[in-house]
Each structure stands twice: as structure tokens, then as C-alpha cells.
Amino acid sequence: MIFNHVGGLDHVVVMVGDLNKAAADWAALGFTVSPRGVHSAHVGAANHTVVLENDYIELLAVLRDTPQNAPSRAFLERRGDGIERIALVTDDAAAAAEELRGAGIAASGPFAFGRPVPTPGGGEVEASFRIARWPIDAAPGGLRLFVCEHLTSAVVWQSELKAHPNTATSLRRILVASPTPRADADELAHLIGSAVADNGHDTYVVPTGDQRAALVFSPRTSIAGRYSGVQANDLPERGAVAAVVAVRDLARTADALGSAASTVNGALFVPPHRASGILLVFEEV
């Protein structure tokens, strides 16, 4: 089934235990990191963002325990830092929730919230959102899903935040480790109205559409085997473990990354301990 109000990947949520350290680590990799934002009280969280051209990475930490952030706290206790969930684009979170419910998927929402965002000239403006969530147990590859309707897009995608010394432009792929990659890929395709492509070697690709990042499911041994020095035990058996980032100029990326990066098949990568539990791969496009 095709959903009219569920689009491509909007952003990934990276849960972190120490938000200051995460911001410093990502800045050291040549990313422009936004100032800290504090969400609405019922969310009980604060973030920094790494804003790319049409998508972004959200570094998120819990400030106080609330019912809303209970799954995120459970994730941190179980796994530590890493990609906990992904957001897909929607033009109407309420309509997306109704579409999903009409397909027999017990979506919840919409929920509204916001956070203040500092402006380059000083002062603050409010970034506002509406989201709807898939049920918590609908988490293919251990990855929770929600749609995000941006009510103030220009506040998030400020031009100053999109300029990165490492020349990053967009997310290309999210790699998900799974002991049952075909089953998890099939589940995701069903949940978001997509399809599955068999790439061979027990690897399955689910496009999210709109020229946005795809999700790629493989056993963790296959993922680790592509990157010298990364061990399978460095990655969870099930969960989103890597992000492939498009860059304009790989030589400039290498300069920005310095000794943190290694080279593989014409790309650069940074091991998980350097990037909030995420294997980061940089490809020139």
C-alpha cells in the first residue's frame, strides 16, 4: 500500500547520555552543530542538530523522566549511545496517522511540541512540529518510526547551519544490523508503503522515497566486514548502526576528519566510538 502522507527520511534521532560530549565529538568531525535546544516540558529532552540540505541528524538527551521519553531511556540503558529512531517526512501528521490506521497500523498522534532555536543575529525563534508514531512494537530492526511535520522549516534549516567544514550534504543510507534482515526489511516496507530490493549477500534495501536516504538491512558481521578495524562485537546484533553521509569534496572531508578517519573503497569512515555509537561513512557524490 502507498501512503500519500508518509514521505522519505527526514532525520535520524541519536540518543546520547552526555549531550555536551556528543556535540563536541561531532564538531571535531567537521560538522556544524546547532546550539542546544530544549524541547517542550512534556518531552523532557534537549538536543543539538547537524542540519544537512534536506535532512538532518538529531543528537538527543533526556533532561527529566517523562512518559514521552520512557522508550528512549530504555534504549540508553540497553544499548548506550546510538540511533534509536527515524523520522519520515509528512505534510500532515494527522492525515498520516489516519492513513496508517486505515491500513490496520495502530498509529498514535498527532502530537505537537516545539523548541527554541537561537538565530544568527541573536535572540530566539520557536521551531514547531507535529508528529505521529507507529506503535512501539512496530520497530523493524529495532528501529522506531515516526512522521514529522515541520511547521517552521526555515527555523530548522538555517543556511549557516547547513555549511559544514567536512562538506557534508545529505544522508544517503542508514545501515541496520539484523539477524533476520529479509524479515525486518519486509516489515519496514509494509509499514511505510515501500518495497524491498535484494542486493545479494543477505543484504536488503528499502527506499524511503523522494530521493531520500534508504535503509539497508544486513547481518552485523557483514556490516563490520566492510570496514577494517570494526569488529562485529562493536555493533549491536539488531539495530541501526551506521549512517552513510554524502559529501561534496572527499579531500576536504579527509582534512576535517584528520586521524579519526580510515579509508575503504574510495570512501572514508569513522568508528562508532568517535560518533555517539554510530559508524559514520563519508562518500563523495
pLDDT at 65: 81
pLDDT at 40: 61
39 has a pLDDT exceeding 80: no
Q: What average pLDDT score do residues 150-172 get?
A: 95
Instruction: Render pLDDT for 78-108 as a digit per residue (tens, 0 to 9).
Output: 999 999 999 999 999 999 999 999 999 999 9
Quickly state the pLDDT bin for 126 (edges 50, 70, 90): confident
Nine cell digits for residue 43: 518531552
DSSP three-state, residue 150? strand
159 has a pLDDT exceeding 70: yes
CB atoms within 10 A of CB 182: 14
128 has a pLDDT exceeding 90: yes
**What are the structural domains of the chain?**
9-162 (3.10.180.10), 168-284 (3.10.180.10)
Alpha carbon of 157 to those of 143, 163, 222, 249: distances in Å? 25, 11, 35, 21
CB atoms within 10 A of CB 227: 19
The H or E element spanning position 225 is: helix 220-225
Closest to 52 in 3D by CA, of 25, 28, 33: 33
How many residues in the chain? Answer: 285
Q: What average pLDDT score do residues 46-63 get?
A: 95
Q: What share of the chain is helix, strand, coil (3-state, %, to 5)?
A: 30, 35, 35
56-62, strands of its sheet edge to edge: 37-38, 45-51, 56-62, 9-15, 82-89, 144-150, 124-133, 108-118
By DSSP bridging, strand 267-270 and strand 108-118 are unpaired
Instruction: Render pLDDT for 173-189 as a digit per residue (tens, 0 to 9).
Output: 999 999 999 999 999 99
Quickly state the pLDDT bin for 192 (edges 50, 70, 90): very high
